[in-house]
Structure 1
C-alpha cells in the first residue's frame, strides 16, 4: 500500500543504486500489479558490480591532472594535503561499498527477501486499522522530504561542477578527464547518500504507521482490541529488528559516508575562506556558485542527520503513544496483558545508531559533528594566516619577481 508519488521517488532511488551496483541483486518492480520480487538473474548483476567497482578504482588514477601542481593549490600546502586526503577517503569509500556488497551479498539478498515478506505480512494492518487518508498524508509528506533531499544533492553537484570547471588553470584533455573522473565519483557518492536516505524514509514510514495504528486502535469502541494490539506489537518488534539489520549490514558504508561528508564540508568551507581573502581569484559567478554549494552541502548534511534522528526517535517514542491506553477501563484482561507485554518489549528494545559500534549519532552528536567542522576550519584559517605572514621560498621568489616586474 504505497502512494504512487512515493513509489516513483523510491524507484528513482532504486535505479541510482542499481546503476552504481549498490544492490545485492536487482528487483522486479511491477507497479500496475503492485508487486516487488527479487530478480532471478543475479550473476549477471554480480559481474556488472565487479566492472563498476574496478572502473571506479581505475578512475581514481585520472583524478590527479598534470597541471595540478601548477594550479591554484601550488602554493597552499593545506589544500594539497586536503586533496590527497580526499583521494584516500574516496578509495576507502569505494572499498567499503563494494567490499560490503561482494562479501555480504548473500546476507543482503536474504535481507531483501525478509523485507518483502515483512511488507506483505503487515500491509493488512495498514489497510484495516489505519485510516487511508492518514497514510496518504504521511506518504505525501515523506515524498516531499525525499524530493527535497534529491534536489539538494543534485544542486550541490551542479554548483560543484561549475566551480571545479572554473578552478581549472589549464583546459585540455588531461584536465577535463580529471574533472570527469571527480564528477563520476561525486555521482557515486550521491547515489550512496540517496540510498541511505531512502532506507531511512522507509523505516520512518513504518514506525509512523505504528503510531497511527495505535491512535486508531485507541479510538475504536468495540472489537477484539487485544489481537490487533498483539499484531501492532509484532510489527514494531520486526521493524526494530529490520532497522538493526540494515544499520549493521551497511555500517562500514555509512561510516565512509559520514567521514567523506565531514571532509567535503571542511574542504568546501576552507575554499570559501580562500575565496573571501582573495587567495583564489574569482568573479561574481564563482562567489554565487560557491555560496550555493555551501548551502546545499550543509543543508543536505543536516537533513540526513535529522532523518536519522527521526527514525530513532519515532521508534523509541512508541511508548508515549501507548500511554493513551491508560484511560481505558480494566475490564478487558486480555487487552491489559497485551499492553503489559508491549510495554516490557519497548523497555527492553531501544533503537540506537552507532558508527562501527563506537560513536552514537543523535541530535547532540549531530551538533558536535557540525561544531567540529567549524573548529577545524578556524584552525586551518589560523594556519593559513601564519603561512601568509611567513611565506616559503617559492612564494618569496614569486613575490620578488612580481615586485621587480612592477618596477
Structure 2
C-alpha cells in the first residue's frame, strides 16, 4: 500500500505531523518501535503555554498533569528565591507539566481521529529514496510513500540513512523520577510546591539542575547544555549526579537508595546549528523534533519545538513545498535559537554574576513569565539581559 506520508516515530514531533497531515487530507502511516501505547518516556516535561500561539487545536486540559506558575531558584543548593511568573496584565504565566506517555498518546489519538494509520512494534532498518517515492523497511516488511518524516529521536535511523544530521552536536542530561505525594502536615516531610519549577545553578558548569512536579512523582535531573566540555570535566556522569544530590538537598530530600532507588536515565541533548539542512535536497525526507536537533540551547527545551516543527512539516507536505521546509524552520526558530545561544554563552561565562543580576532578580522571573506566555521573544530577553549587565544598578 502506498501512502502520502510515512512518519517514523510517534513522539510529539511525529504525532503532531501525522495529525496535521491527516487533517489536511493526506494518507498517513505512523510507525513506532514501541510495542504498545502509552509507552514510557522519561522527560522533564515542561511546555510553555505560548505553544497554543503556534499550533491550533491543542487541549491542555486533556494532557497536562499540573500547571506551574512559579520558579524557585537556588545557587548551588542555597539561598532559595521564589518568584511568580506573570503576564503583562498581572495574570499568572503558565507552564504545563506533562507526562510523556500521556502527552504522546494524546497526540497519536488526535492523528488517528483525523485518519492516520498506526503500526506499533516496527523497528525501521532502512530508508531508501527513489525519484518519486521513499520506502521504509523493517525486517521483512516495507511501506512506500511520497514522503517520509524522521521523528525517531536524537539517535534516529532515518536521518542517518539519508545523510542528514551526520555531524551532530550533543549536550547530555541525567534524570530520575521519584515518587512523591505532598505531606499531610507541615511536619510530615519535605514539601514541594506543586505549582513551581525548582532550578539550581552553579552545580553544573554550562547547565543547571531541576525538579519538575508531576502527578504522583517528581522529575529530577541535571544537564550540560554546551556540547564541548572542559578537559578537566571528563567525568560528566558524576558531575550530573552530584548536581542531582544538591538539588534534592536544597528541598530537604535525599536520593533514594537500595530497593527504593529509582532508575537513572541518561540521554543526549541534540543541538541544531541552524545551518545544516533538515530535509533531503529533493524534499522526500524531512526531520522534526529531536531527530532534527531542534532543542533550544538556553533551557534545553525540546517538546514545544518538536510540536512546532511537526506542524511546519505538515504544512509543507500538504502543499508539496518540502524543499523549502528547512528555510521555513529557520525563519520561525533561528532568531529564538541564536538569541538563546548568545544568552547562554554570557550566562556560562559569568554564571554567578548572571545569576545575581538576572535570575535571582524577581523582575527576571517576571520577564521569563512573559516569555512563557509568548508576550515577548528570546531576542527581547537577550536585550534586557545586556542592558542589565551594562547598568547593573539601574
Tell me whether the two structures share a fold, i.e. TM-score over 0.5.
no
**With structure 2 as the length reference, what TM-score do the two structures score?**
0.30
Higher strand share: 2
Larger Cα-atom Rg: 1
Higher helix share: 1
**With structure 1 as the length reference, what TM-score do the two structures score?**
0.29
